[in-house]
A and B are shown apart, each in its own frame.
Chain A
Amino acid sequence: MADEATENAMKAWRAEIEAMHTAGARFVVLAGLDLIGKLEVIYLFHHEGQLKEVKLQVPYDVEFPSITDLFPSANFVEREMVDLLGAKVKGAAPFLELTEGAGIVAPLRKNAVNPRPSGKPATPPTTPPATPPAAPKEAK
């Protein structure tokens, strides 16, 4: 559940997004960042030859609304953020087919655990060493 500060931040963020839409800005892209414990999402807009950023910070477990009702072009990139950062975006389903089975969950988080670190095989090689050990010398 979002606390009051997060709720207020989300309201202010939504108002900024709506202002961008009213002004006729073009949605370019968003970048999701892991700030350990919370996510920062930076929305980039292009309006009258200028780039404008709108930022939102939310804890990992807080769901925040999609902006696809105003900017349909944000659909893919929001869903990618769900896959790669584990963001909870209302109405955005994962779609990259990345995390099925034993893959890394939310790989772009700083604490993401790779189930196969260093690419080393799970079991040690069973082949014998190339050179056999030297036979002990016989005592004279």
Chain B
Amino acid sequence: MARTTVVPIGPQHPVLVEPIHLRFEVEEEVVKGVTPVIGYNHRGIEKLMENDFKKNVFISERVCGICSHQHSTAYSQAVERVMGVTPPDRALLIRTIMFELNRIHSHLLIIGLEADAIGYENMFMQCWRDREIVMRLVEMVSGNRVHYSMNQPGGVRRDINDAQQKEIEAGLKQLEERFADLEQIMRHDQTWNSRLKGIGLLSKKLAMDLGAVGPVARASGVDYDIRSTRAHPYAAYHMLKSFKPIVHEAGDTWTRMIVRMEELYVSAAIVRECISLMKPGPITAEVKGNPNGQAWSRVEASRGELVYFVKGVGKPVMDRVKIRTPTFANIPSLGPMLMGCQVADIPPIVTAIDPCICCTDR
């Protein structure tokens, strides 16, 4: 008769990059139950955002250091919807370019961390080396590597000039060569495949019931990508002709990483298309008065659907800002993914949802 052992992992643990507590019930190296506990890093940002609606852009960016531009985009467009402001096309294209560059560095980061989780140090180093290319591009445009401070209600704060556009295109060419190397490893390398294929399974029905979003949902066959939701276009995605979401059916950890890898190419194509669509013009629209009303805003962040709700009452100070981050929606899916797996498979399965506890404990 097997005895159940409780194995607590986290909030501080070598396999976790951020503070979450996972309480595992284990029988002979097989996981029989898991309870996630969050809240160790809670910063009360929703309360902090009962603040000046213009200053809030910079607070929203600091919810997360990886998808910072995606947070400020979601917040800015929520405020724009309340105030009835439409940013100029050039501003929307610049937002989208930065958004997708943000996604490329986020995906390269998590592919590297997944390699690290299975002890594949060489690939981890390779991913993070390649990530430097995109980090240099965003630094060239915004002057910053982490918090770009590009957004403001009504548009963007910095333009991307012709020379910078050429530099971005050259960077993308270099990146795509690196993506091809990475794809070769992720599809054919024995270490990568034997550690990730067939583990952390999540069926399409469970993914839908538990509200999974982003690459986690799309790897389980759920065609849910806000960029393709025509009813609610955001930024410049409604102008794009080439975009198609990446959806796979297998629902295992390997497929989740393959979805991210294929999205790297999609993001590069989106950036190219946006650059080709850019025409001279203003980068910001005038914002008058204070927000009075409420609005939802959804964007497809690197980890999945990011939702902002804002309410203003005609004062500079916002009445309420609600943030639903993608990892917050994906944590419930960890239960069925981890059930029945070996203890040694816990790190790659947890890492494959791209957990951002910083976002979750906003």
Contacts and interface: CB of A to CB of B under 8 A. Distances in A.
Interface string A1-39: 000000000000000000000000011110111100000
B211 interface: yes
Interface residues of A, number: 29
Given A31-B309, A44-B296, A50-B231, A77 B324 contact: yes
B157 to A, nearest CB: 28
A71 to B, nearest CB: 8
A97 interface: yes
B307 A44 contact: yes
B324 A84 contact: no
A51 interface: yes
B84 interface: no
Given A76-B331, A108-B47, A29 B307 contact: yes
B322 interface: yes
Contacts, number: 71
B42 A51 contact: no
B208 A31 contact: no
A132 to B, nearest CB: 41
A85 B193 CA distance: 46
A77 B209 contact: no
A111 B112 CA distance: 46
A95 B320 CA distance: 22
A96 B332 CA distance: 14
Nearest to A94: B39
A95 B324 contact: no
Given A28-B305, A29-B307, A72 B210 contact: yes
A98 interface: yes
B44 interface: yes
The DSSP consensus for interface residues of chain B is mixed
B37 A97 contact: yes
Contacts of A107: 44, 47
Nearest to B224: A26
A84 B47 CA distance: 9
B124 interface: no
A49 interface: yes
The DSSP consensus for interface residues of chain A is mixed
B332 A51 contact: no
Nearest to A109: B47
B311 interface: yes
Interface string A50-80: 1100000000000000000001111111000
A42 interface: yes
A4 B359 CA distance: 40
Contacts of B230: 49
Given A29-B307, A76-B328, A108 B229 contact: no
A73 B212 CA distance: 8
A95 B229 CA distance: 33
A97 B35 CA distance: 14
A96 B210 contact: no
Interface string B191-217: 000000000000000001111000000
A74 B38 CA distance: 16
A28 B324 contact: yes
Contacts of A72: 209-211, 332
Given A28-B298, A44-B307, 14 more contacts: A28-B305, A28-B324, A31-B309, A31-B320, A33-B320, A49-B231, A51-B231, A51-B298, A73-B210, A73-B329, A95-B37, A95-B39, A96-B38, A96-B39
28 contacts: A26-B208, A27-B211, A28-B211, A28-B298, A28-B324, A29-B309, A29-B324, A31-B320, A32-B322, A33-B319, A44-B309, A49-B229, A49-B230, A50-B231, A51-B296, A51-B298, A72-B210, A72-B211, A72-B332, A73-B210, A73-B211, A74-B211, A96-B42, A97-B39, A97-B40, A98-B39, A98-B42, A108-B46
Interface of B: 37-40, 42, 44, 46-47, 208-211, 224, 229-232, 296, 298, 305, 307, 309, 311, 319-320, 322, 324, 328-329, 331-332, 361
Q: What are the 9 tightest A-B residue pairs by CB atom distance, in nearest-first order?
A: A73-B211, A96-B39, A31-B322, A49-B231, A29-B324, A31-B309, A97-B39, A29-B307, A33-B320
